[in-house]
């Protein structure tokens, strides 16, 4: 081999490996909008708010038809090493938007069952957060702050203020459909669009009363799909025996079967314990990072049909209950909501 060619090979070997593609970090306060003229005209507006809360407005104006506006709230998370924006809520909303190099969002939106999904690009717009529509349980009590529990996520906003509240009847609590603006603490109600003294059923994907039973109610009797983990592209898991506060997590995947002891702790926390022999066997089989993932303490929560495990210094584990299609993203309240005059 010529000396020059050999020197070139050595130089190439010494060069650093190309850095992984970086993605724009999404932050609260970012607003996006996308429009398309196909099928008559569509517009999508997305606002990312504090504590991973979002508001989404979808407007579809079919040619020769009536314009339809759909408002949703839910939980947003940036996942897959920052390459995807995940939007979910308890009513079955499940959207995955690709994050481009310039921060634009790319995804498909379904406006009608009779039409194919429509691809849209959502571009970031420089503007302040605008009022958005929220539906939920409004509670008022004399001498105390009013609070509003968002029906799609279970998030509680307090205080809730605004002159529009004075027009409501004295019944308490009320289910309201309101136009609100987030403030440093709580919400300001701009308009009450409708209200009812009757509460709709809990969202089908929220866990409802089951979550009140603790982790067993939120997670058992369900097979969960794990996200892609180091060395594991596909895996599922299930929890058992958690009614007593201590149980097991069993993980299964190609070439992998793992059993982890799980203890429920106060404050919606879980302690995972993996035996030393099991950890050694995982490392010997090439799963070097799994012992660290399935050990230690995690906080847990339900976000729609997803079980979320979070721990300081580690990526969140998002366990999907099953494939989530699109809808309904809002509660069915058509039978009892009273419109404001």
**Looking at the structure, do residues 35 and 101 belong to the same domain, yes or no?**
yes
Last residue of a domain, one of 141, 175, 200: 200
Mapped onto helix, strand or coil, the DSSP state of residue 233 is coil
**Looking at the structure, do residues 217 and 268 belong to the same domain, yes or no?**
yes
Taken in order 146, 148, 149, 155, is the CA torsion positive or negative? negative
Domain residues for the domain of 298 are 208-320
pLDDT at residue 68, as a whole number: 86
pLDDT at residue 124, as a whole number: 94
For residue 271, what are the β-bridge partners? Answer: 263, 297
For residue 60, what are the β-bridge partners? Answer: 42, 68
pLDDT at residue 15, as a whole number: 46
What are 208-266's pLDDT values in tens digits? 545 556 888 888 888 998 888 888 888 899 999 988 889 999 999 888 899 999 999 99
pLDDT at residue 111, as a whole number: 73
pLDDT at residue 325, as a whole number: 41
Q: pTM of the full predicted structure?
A: 0.72
- 2 lies in some domain: no
How many whole angstroms from its chain centre is CA 280? 34
pLDDT at residue 103, as a whole number: 87
Maximum pairwise Cα distance, the chain: 91
What are 61-82's pLDDT values in tens digits? 877 678 889 999 999 999 887 8
Answer whether 242's CB lies under 8 Å from 262's CB: yes
Q: Which of 282, 245, 275 is nearest to 262 (CA)?
A: 245
Last residue of a domain, one of 70, 104, 125: 125
- 4 lies in some domain: no
Last residue of a domain, one of 125, 147, 164: 125
Extract the residue ranges of the chain whose pLDDT is less than 50. Answer: 3-20, 209, 323-328, 334
- Cα distance between residue 216 and residue 45, in whole Å: 37
**Looking at the structure, do residues 55 and 80 belong to the same domain, yes or no?**
yes
**Looking at the structure, do residues 267 and 212 belong to the same domain, yes or no?**
yes
Paired sense of beta strands 187-196 and 160-161, if any: parallel
- Cα distance between residue 303 and residue 143, in whole Å: 32
């Amino acid at each position: 081999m010529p000396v020059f060619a050999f020197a070139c090979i050595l130089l190439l070997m010494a060069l650093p490996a190309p850095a992984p593609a970086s993605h724009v970090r999404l932050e609260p306060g970012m607003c996006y909008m996308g429009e398309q003229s196909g099928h008559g005209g569509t517009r999508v507006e997305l606002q990312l708010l504090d504590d991973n809360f979002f508001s989404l407005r979808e407007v579809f104006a079919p040619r020769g038809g009536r314009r339809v506006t759909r408002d949703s709230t839910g939980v947003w998370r940036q996942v897959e090493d920052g390459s995807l924006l995940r939007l979910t809520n308890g009513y079955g909303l499940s959207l995955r938007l690709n994050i481009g190099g310039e921060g634009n969002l790319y995804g498909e939106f379904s406006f009608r069952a009779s039409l194919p999904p429509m691809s849209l690009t959502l571009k970031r717009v420089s503007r302040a957060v605008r009022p958005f529509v929220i539906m939920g349980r409004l509670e008022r009590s004399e001498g105390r702050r009013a609070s509003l529990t968002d029906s799609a996520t279970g998030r509680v906003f307090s205080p809730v203020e605004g002159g529009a509240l004075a027009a409501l009847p004295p019944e308490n609590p009320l289910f309201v459909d309101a136009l609100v603006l987030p403030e440093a603490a709580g919400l300001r109600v701009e308009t009450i669009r409708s209200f009812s003294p009757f509460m709709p059923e809990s969202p089908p994907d929220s866990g409802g009363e089951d979550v009140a039973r603790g982790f067993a109610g939120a997670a058992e009797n369900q097979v969960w799909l794990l996200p892609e983990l180091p060395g594991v592209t596909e895996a599922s898991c299930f929890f058992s025996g958690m009614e007593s506060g201590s149980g097991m997590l069993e993980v299964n995947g190609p070439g992998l079967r793992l059993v982890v002891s799980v203890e429920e702790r106060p404050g919606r926390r879980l302690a995972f314990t993996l035996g030393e022999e099991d950890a050694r066997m995982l490392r010997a089989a090439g799963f070097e990072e799994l012992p660290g993932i399935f050990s230690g303490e995690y906080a847990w929560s339900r976000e729609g049909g997803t079980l979320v495990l979070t721990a300081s210094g580690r990526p969140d584990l998002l366990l999907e209950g099953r494939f989530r299609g699109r809808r309904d993203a809002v509660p069915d309240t058509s039978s009892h909501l009273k419109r404001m005059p």
